[in-house]
Amino acid sequence: MTNFAASTIDAPMTDENFEELLAESLGEDDRFEGKVLSGTIIRVDGDVAVIDVGLKSEGRVPLKEFGQGKEGDLSAGDVVDVFIERFEDRDGMIRLSREKARREEAWTLLEKSFEATERVNGVIFGRVKGGFIVDLQGAVAFLPGSQVDIRPVRDIAPLMGTPQPFQILKMDRARNNIVVSRRAVLEETRAEARAELISGLKEGDILEGVVKNITDYGAFVDLGGVDGLLHVTDIAWRRINHPSEALQVGQTVKVQVIRFNSETQRISLGMKQLESDPWDGIAAKYPVGAKFTGRVTNITDYGAFVELEPGVEGLVHVSEMSWTKKNIHPGKIVSTSQEVEVMVLDTDSEKRRISLGLKQCGNNPWDAFLAETPIGSVVEGEIKNITEFGLFIGLQGDIDGMAHLSDLSWDKPGEEAIAEYNKGDVVKAKVLDVDVEKERISLGIKQLTEDPFEGTLSSLKRGAIVTCTVTKIVDNGIEVNVDGMPGFIRKAELSRDRSEQRPDRFATGEKVDAKITQIDSASRRLTLSVKALEVADEKQALADFGSSDSGASLGDILGAALQERKAAAEEAAAKDDGEGDKS
């Protein structure tokens, strides 16, 4: 014993001896730092587990590193894998980590999956700038926002906390960096589903899909790997102005394949085809003449559309909206969503059209006017408008009647007579005619007085010879007056002799004998002819003074006739002078 101590004391301590003694004491246990070893739980002490990994010291691992819900399942004797963070800390204990051991295990498995391009399962559990954090069975990976789904996802909440497959895009163990994609998995699955769906797709199939996108002309529906177009006209039987009125993105809908082009792989879908057509038996459901209540759905320049039931609309043309309001925009009579009563005027089930009338559900003012004001009645109203063909006079019931130019005056031309009236004047008129179907009322102002020429007309007959007074010389003839009634002699009727057929050889105020060839009672106007009178005189002269065997010339005959007419005229003049002297 003494020899050992002496030898020990006598031997000097060097750095080399100390290093050797330390290495001998520790052995090569420090080589395990950064490695994963299997250890045995010696005991559970509070919130930590004491683990023996076969080295000179034990280590402690917080129970929370074993995962939620597993703390109570641990007991002495359990074998677990742990990561050697540090061989010996200042307390002389080995620093262990269960979490890092799990991570190392996960990295090893993930590297194998990455090399084999296999999918891995993970859980989205957090959000970071530009994306999300994914737990890949212990390893933490980054999921970029663009790789979450095939289309942008507004709400990520339903995806968080749910195990899902991912594809590893990049791994860097040195930087502890893993990038994954959920979109790549969905695209691959989508391609498989698309091929399977297209191979068995046919027109008439009823499928379930999700509204992917909405446009002005329809909606695109994801059928599970392939999109189909649901046109706005095929969403519902009722009128839909925009698809967003009936659909929203993300909505699950049931659709029917109505057209499928296998070459272009274009699919046309329909929703309304899954419901019964409301136009079936429409004529029996809405007979002509029946009245119904509907809702105004759309207003145009030419009328308003009224919905009688979902999917069934009829058009009220602008001409059928009001009895009295003409040339007015339909929007000033009805408004959108207004409930109105309409009458069915016509139905066409093939063209899917129903003609409706709004005014027919109210009283016809022309019927009411005729009932209260029979033909021949005198009415009074304000001149609403003056046109080139007459006066429009406002009457009761907010309707108008028209007094034509020819019914304004007995003795004045219509153009002159209408100049005497002004818009806004209140006038009286007689009801001449009422046409309910054409919505016309004919009025007359001159009919309020007796016809001053009625006696003259009754005394004049066609073929009668009268003396006219020239009132006006025109290029194509002369205007004359016969006892107050106007008449006209055309240029070709001024003389039998062509050289004498000149209006300028007559003068205003000159007396002319002529024969009446036509009487127009409506316009109170005569048509006369000097030529016809000369022809008649010639025939009469031949009858009175000549014969086929007398040998007299035509000049002699006409001379004798003219001489006789002159003598008769002189005799009549002398007689008139004698009566004048007596008076």
pLDDT digits (tens, 9 = 90+) for 220-257: 998 877 888 999 989 888 888 899 988 998 899 999 98
Residues 6+ apart with CB under 8 A from 494: 477, 478, 500, 501, 502, 503, 505, 506, 530, 531
Give, in words, the CATH class of 201-274: mainly beta
Q: Is the pLDDT of residue 63 over 60?
A: yes
Q: What digits encode the pLDDT tens for the residues 34-45? A: 566 667 777 776
Q: What digits encode the pLDDT tens for the residues 507-536? A: 999 999 999 999 887 777 889 999 998 888
Residue written as token pair 């052995």: 27
Distance separating alpha carbons of residues 481 and 526, to the nearest angstrom: 9
Q: What digits encode the pLDDT tens for the residues 337-366? A: 999 999 999 999 888 899 999 998 988 888
DSSP readout, 358-403?
SGGGS--HHHHHHHHS-TT-EEEEEEEEEETTEEEEEETTTEEEEE
Instruction: Name the least confident of 73-87, 311-325, 371-385.
Output: 73-87
Hey, what CATH topology would domain 30-101 get? OB fold (Dihydrolipoamide Acetyltransferase, E2P) (2.40.50)
Beta strand 477-482 pairing with 59-62: unpaired
Angle at the Cα of 479 (from 477 to 484), degrees rounded to 5?
160
For residue 238, the model assigns a pLDDT of 81
Which of the four pLDDT bands, split at 50, 70 and 90, describes residue 6?
Answer: very low
Burial class of 460 by CB neighbour count within 10 A (0 to 12, 13 to 18, 19+)? middle
Architecture of domain 460-545: Beta Barrel (2.40)
Which of the four pLDDT bands, split at 50, 70 and 90, describes residue 81?
Answer: low
Q: Where are the domains of the chain?
A: 30-101, 117-186, 201-274, 282-361, 365-448, 460-545
The domain 365-448 is placed in CATH, from the list 2.30.30.30, 3.40.50.1260, 2.40.50.140, 1.10.287.1080, at 2.40.50.140
For residue 583, the model assigns a pLDDT of 45
Residues 6+ apart with CB under 8 A from 439: 323, 366, 399
Count of C-beta atoms within a 10 Å radius of residue 258: 18
Hey, what CATH topology would domain 282-361 get? OB fold (Dihydrolipoamide Acetyltransferase, E2P) (2.40.50)
Q: How far is CA 424 from CA 310, 326, 379, 381, 392, in A?
A: 49, 20, 16, 9, 11
Give, in words, the CATH class of 117-186: mainly beta
Q: Is the pLDDT of residue 455 over 90?
A: no
Question: Which residues partner with 315 through β-bridges?
Answer: 305, 355
Q: What digits encode the pLDDT tens for the residues 170-221? A: 888 777 788 999 988 888 877 777 777 777 788 888 888 899 899 999 999 9
